């Protein structure tokens, strides 16, 4: 296992009620996404996707960095087109699995998030970062345009800002990342855990059925024409109204009492 000298899991898993914390765990390698780490992360996401009791996921990282992108040493050890096609396909599966999860995924970011690490942040539904965090898509510095990270990045920040990052490898700090829309909040490091905790609690107080309907619709409609998006959204809302939670939520509002959501 490249760069991993202990028996510690490459992705640690902690459960607290409906909250699941996943932590990238290759700190000595700045959590570079080796083949093994991609497989471990995909396995964890697949387990979560099958568990209807999960309400929210927090993705964090051990050590000084969030994620330094792909494991370049491992990539250079296998100079084969089929190998690279498979590697980037597997990375894409991980990013798509995050988007496909029926619950919100929050990136808790500290240190650097570069290349595929920045892609990972952009693929999460929400992101909170320490004000010391920095972000870049820096493959161009080693002769490799960050093409797959560009897909997620350009769906978070404007076209010209994304392209500037891709062709210059410029690092942006957390304050700029917040201003550009790559992350939701840039906060002092001492407040990072409390801010994430608050976001998790707000999400978990909402209807899980509505959250499942809404997340799937949100990403699907972005790829459609306006007319298609409205047609999809109307159908999703109609289906959502048939859920017990919708009836309970409306009744609770009218009766001025807290709603009691289904599991």
pLDDT of residue 7: 77
Using an 8 Å Cβ cutoff, are 25 and 44 in contact? no
Average pLDDT, the chain: 94
Question: Which one, of 175, 130, 166, lies nearest residue 148 by Cα?
Answer: 166
The yes-or-no verdict on residue 12 having pLDDT over 70 is yes
The yes-or-no verdict on residue 5 having pLDDT over 90 is no
Structure tokens at 26: 């290759």
Pairing mode, strands 172-173 and 134-136? antiparallel
Alpha-helical regions (H) of the chain: 35-49, 72-76, 81-100, 116-123, 147-153, 159-168, 174-180, 192-204, 208-222, 226-241, 244-254
Q: Where does residue 136 rank: exposed (0-12), middle (13-18), buried (19+ CB within 10 A)?
A: buried
pLDDT in tens, 129-156: 999 999 999 999 999 999 999 999 999 9
pLDDT of residue 1: 33
Question: Which one, of 134, 107, 119, lies nearest residue 23 by Cα?
Answer: 107
pLDDT of residue 3: 42
pLDDT in tens, 200-223: 999 999 999 999 999 999 999 999
pTM summary value: 0.93
The yes-or-no verdict on residue 2 having pLDDT over 60 is no
Give the pLDDT mean for 191-206: 97
DSSP calls for 208-250: HHHHHHHHHHHHHHHTS-HHHHHHHHHHHHHHHHTSHHHHHHH
Question: Which one, of 105, 79, 75, lies nearest residue 90 by Cα?
Answer: 75
Cα separation, 19 vs 105, in Å, equals: 10
The yes-or-no verdict on residue 182 having pLDDT over 90 is yes
Question: Which one, of 103, 108, 107, lies nearest residue 123 by Cα?
Answer: 107
pLDDT in tens, 66-111: 999 999 999 999 999 999 999 999 999 999 999 999 999 999 999 9
Question: Which one, of 22, 158, 154, 178, lies nearest residue 101 by Cα?
Answer: 22
Q: Which residue shows structure tokens 């051990």?
A: 62
Compute CA distances 192 → 17, 186, 214, 240, whole Å: 21, 9, 26, 33
Q: Give, in degrees to the nearest 5, the angle at Cα 207 between 203 and 213.
A: 95
For the chain, domains (ranges, CATH) are 11-204 (3.90.226.10), 208-254 (1.10.12.10)
pLDDT in tens, 223-256: 999 999 999 999 999 999 999 999 999 999 999 9
């Amino acid at each position: 296992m490249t760069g991993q000298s202990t028996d510690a899991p490459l992705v640690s898993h902690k459960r607290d009620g409906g909250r699941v914390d996943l932590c990238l765990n290759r700190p000595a390698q700045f959590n570079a996404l080796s083949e093994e780490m991609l497989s471990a992360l995909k396995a964890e996401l697949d387990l979560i996707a099958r568990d209807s009791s999960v309400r929210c996921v927090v993705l964090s990282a051990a050590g000084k960095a969030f994620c330094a992108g792909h494991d370049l040493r491992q990539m250079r050890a296998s100079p084969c087109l089929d190998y690279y096609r498979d590697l980037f396909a597997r990375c894409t599966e991980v990013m798509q699995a995050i988007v496909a999860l029926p619950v919100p995924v929050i990136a808790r970011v500290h240190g650097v998030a570069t290349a595929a690490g920045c892609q990972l942040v952009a693929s999460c539904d929400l992101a909170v970062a320490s004000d010391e965090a920095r972000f870049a898509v820096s493959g161009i510095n080693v002769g490799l345009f960050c093409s797959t990270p560009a897909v997620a990045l350009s769906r978070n920040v404007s076209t010209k800002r994304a392209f500037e990052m891709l062709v210059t490898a410029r690092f942006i700090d957390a304050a700029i990342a917040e201003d550009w829309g790559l992350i939701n909040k840039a906060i002092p490091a001492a407040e990072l855990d409390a801010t994430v905790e608050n976001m998790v609690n707000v999400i978990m107080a909402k209807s899980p059925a509505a959250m499942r309907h809404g997340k799937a619709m949100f990403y699907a409609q972005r790829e459609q024409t306006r007319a298609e998006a409205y047609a999809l959204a109307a159908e999703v809302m109609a289906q959502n109204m048939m859920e017990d939670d919708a009836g309970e939520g409306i009744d609770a509002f009218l009766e001025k009492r807290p709603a009691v959501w289904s599991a």
